[in-house]
């Protein structure tokens, strides 16, 4: 059994909410306004094959640090994962007028864009209970 590596290009964006915005406001806007906006754009559907929002569970986050001494990261408020067939597809989306004129300005409504971080990563699965071949 050996690990499986996903062939898709993956970009992770670590998000810091806009100053003065509560976590609840941030989380709701990101989920209920931003996601439908970007997922409805033809270029997003054309260039991005999978989009995940990873929402922070504040209650468990705070509890884990107190109960178990697990070091928690409180510097960011969530992250998203964008998967594309190629690096160029991601660059085409982020370089598009649609991103510059619609998506970027919407991100500025809920995120401190200058404080967000991006990582190009790949998934290498070493254990998957649903796939015994790993």
Query: What pTM was computed for the model?
Result: 0.86
Q: Are 65 and 71 in contact (CB under 8 A)?
A: yes
Strand, helix or coil at 77?
coil
Return the higher-pLDDT residue of 127 and 87.
Answer: 87
> Domains in the chain and their CATH numbers?
4-124 (3.30.70.100)
The residue among 110, 102, 118, 111 whose CA lies nearest residue 40 is 102
Tens digits of per-residue pLDDT, 13-61?
Answer: 999 999 999 999 999 999 999 999 999 999 999 999 999 999 988 777 6
The number of residues in the chain equals 134
Per-residue pLDDT, averaged over 94-123, amounts to 97
Position 29 scores a pLDDT of 99
Integer Cα distance of 13 and 82 in angstroms: 8
Res 64 pLDDT > 80 = no
């Amino acid at each position: 059994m050996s690990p499986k590596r996903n062939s898709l290009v993956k970009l992770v964006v670590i998000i810091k909410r806009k100053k003065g915005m509560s976590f609840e406001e941030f989380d709701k806007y990101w989920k209920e306004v931003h996601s439908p906006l970007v997922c409805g754009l033809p270029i997003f559907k054309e260039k991005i094959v999978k989009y995940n929002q990873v929402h922070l569970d504040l209650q468990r986050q705070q509890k884990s640090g107190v109960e178990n001494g697990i070091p928690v990261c409180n510097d960011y408020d969530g992250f998203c994962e964008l998967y594309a067939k190629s690096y160029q597809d991601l660059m085409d989306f982020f370089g598009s007028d649609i991103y510059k004129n619609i998506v970027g300005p919407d991100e500025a409504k809920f995120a401190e864009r200058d404080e967000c971080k991006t990582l190009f990563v790949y998934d290498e699965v070493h254990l998957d209970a649903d796939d015994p071949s790993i």
